[in-house]
Amino acid sequence: MREIYLDNNATTKVDERVFEEMRPYFCELYGNPSSMHFFGGQVQKKVDEARARVASLLGALPDEIVFTACGTESDNAAIRSALEVFPEKRHIITSRVEHPAVLTQCRNLTKRGYRVTELNVDGNGQLDLNELERALDEDTAIVSLMYANNETGVIFPIEEAARIVKKKGAIFHTDAVQAVGKIPLNMAESAIDMLSLSGHKLHAPKGVGVLYVRRGTPFRPMLVGGHQERGRRAGTENTASIIAMGKACELAEQYMADEAGRVRELRDRLERELTALIPNTRINGGGTDRLPNTLSIAMEFVEGEGILLLLSDKGICASSGSACTSGSLEPSHVLRAMGVPFTCAHGSIRFSLSRFTTDDDIDAVIKELPPIISRLREMSPFGREYLVQK
């Protein structure tokens, strides 16, 4: 059975060119980059090269790049740093649709006496910047808003939000894990103070991330010890994965136009065909800007778990939302915040494409999904009622 992988917002295939770049740094060039001898020095040069490659993709300076273990660490480090920088401030602003890496952290902080404002989204999953402006006050330490939603692909007006926040003197952080490598970013022209990204979302290995910290932004490290990362993140560097991250960012910069063009066309064709072939569907976030690779489609009168299992039987890998919350039987917190009707929220599926997605992959989903939905609706009492009325 041919594997059709359309769950790239959960994780991506490591590009073979990325793997080849990192391979020598396991068993051959295994020196510690902090060592003073030549054996470690040659590894340090590759780490420096990787830092420059990441910076190039972000339109940043190399010394603004801090390597971490993952996007979650980057998110946590950004929020905790801001609270240490402004110990007298007790207010955090985020949104109701953030990734658990941010949302769980903020909710846990309420148990320590912090005040957290979770901004609402509209039916398309979009922010109201007026609500953000009203929520800001002198007590706000940090605002953390995702650049693009991992479930729906909805892109927030992050640059405008950052400018509003900076006028109030708070730190602005964005979880850009899903956005980096898919849409152009330019930190040199941005008001963003800190930005998180993760290697395994752009064809690098799992276990490496980045926190961008704008030069001049006050920062307190979460991990302390050695001098690594200019004292901003202690611990011996994960050199092979850092080198892989650099190569992945170099390739992402080269393939940006492909994401915006060919991949978007594949996504749009999948969307058109499925909505034409399957009645009573809706596109979550379809009325606003979205990532070019992401399609969240809701189908009434069926359960997402059943859809995914039957798709998996056909070799098709998709998702019901975030891989970090997909074990829950509750409807997605993102779709609940958007006000998606209960009958749709449970039947929502996310297809997320990559540069390795082919026309044949899309053809397979178009062929297999409509009969799966018909079969599940015939088994559902609500679906049977719908078919009778039809």
Listed by start position, the domains of the chain span 4-10+256-389, 16-251
Whole-angstrom distance, CA of residue 147 vs CA of residue 95: 11
Segment 253-264 shows an average pLDDT of 93
Q: Tell whether the model's pLDDT for residue 290 goes beyond 60.
A: yes
Least confident span in 3-12, 102-111, 118-127, 301-310: 301-310
pLDDT at 324: 47
Mean pLDDT, range 308-313, rounded to an integer = 97
- pLDDT confidence bin for 383, thresholds 50/70/90: low
226-230, 288-292, 327-331: least confidently modelled range: 327-331
- Angle between the N-to-C axes of helices 381-389 and 359-379, in degrees from 0 to 180, rounded to the nearest 10: 90
Task: Find where tokens 């069926």 sit.
Answer: 302
pLDDT score of 390? 56
Fold of 16-251: Aspartate Aminotransferase; domain 2 (3.40.640)
- Whole-model pTM: value is 0.94
Closest CA to 348 of 294, 283, 252: 283
pLDDT at position 304 over 50: yes
- Split at pLDDT 50, 70, 90, the class of 387 is low
Q: Quick one: pLDDT at residue 326?
A: 47
- Work out the percent of the chain whose per-residue pLDDT is above 90: 89
Work out the average pLDDT over 342-356: 93
Instruction: Give the Cα separation of 60 and 44 in Å (integer).
Output: 20
Q: Look at residue 328 in the predicted model and tell me its pLDDT.
A: 52
pLDDT (0 to 100) of residue 1: 78
Integer CA distances (angstroms), 168 to 95, 119, 137, 161, 171, in order: 18, 17, 7, 11, 9
Q: Which of 198, 186, 130, 122 is nearest to 159 (CA)?
A: 186
Residue 28 has a pLDDT of 96
Q: Is the pLDDT of residue 343 over 90?
A: no
pLDDT in tens, 142-189: 999 999 999 999 999 999 999 999 999 999 999 999 999 999 999 999
Q: What is the pLDDT of residue 389?
A: 57
H/E element holding 101? Answer: helix 100-109
In whole angstroms, what is the distance from residue 69 CA to residue 71 CA? 7
Residue-wise pLDDT for 84-135, tens only, equals 999 999 999 999 999 999 999 999 999 999 999 999 999 999 999 999 999 9
| pLDDT in the model for residue 225 | 94
- Distance (Å) of CA 104 to CA 94, 107, 184, 298: 11, 5, 28, 26
pLDDT in the model for residue 361: 98
pLDDT at 386: 55
Residue-wise pLDDT for 36-76, tens only, equals 999 999 999 999 999 999 999 999 999 999 999 999 999 99
pLDDT mean across residues, the chain? 94
Angle CA(390)–CA(347)–CA(321) in degrees, nearest 5? 160
Q: Which residues of 50-83 are buried (b: 16+ CB within 10 A; e: fewer)?
A: bbbbbbebbebeeebbbbbbbbbbbbbbbbbbbb
pLDDT in tens, 199-229: 999 999 999 999 999 999 999 999 999 999 9
Residues carrying an active site annotation: 324
Given a cut of 80, whether residue 341 has pLDDT beyond it is yes
Query: CATH number of the domain at 4-10+256-389, out of 3.90.1150.10, 3.30.450.30, 3.40.50.1000, 3.30.470.20?
Result: 3.90.1150.10
Tokens of residue 10, six digits: 């959960």
Residue type, 235: G
Write out the E strands in 193-345. 194-198, 209-213, 281-283, 294-299, 316-317
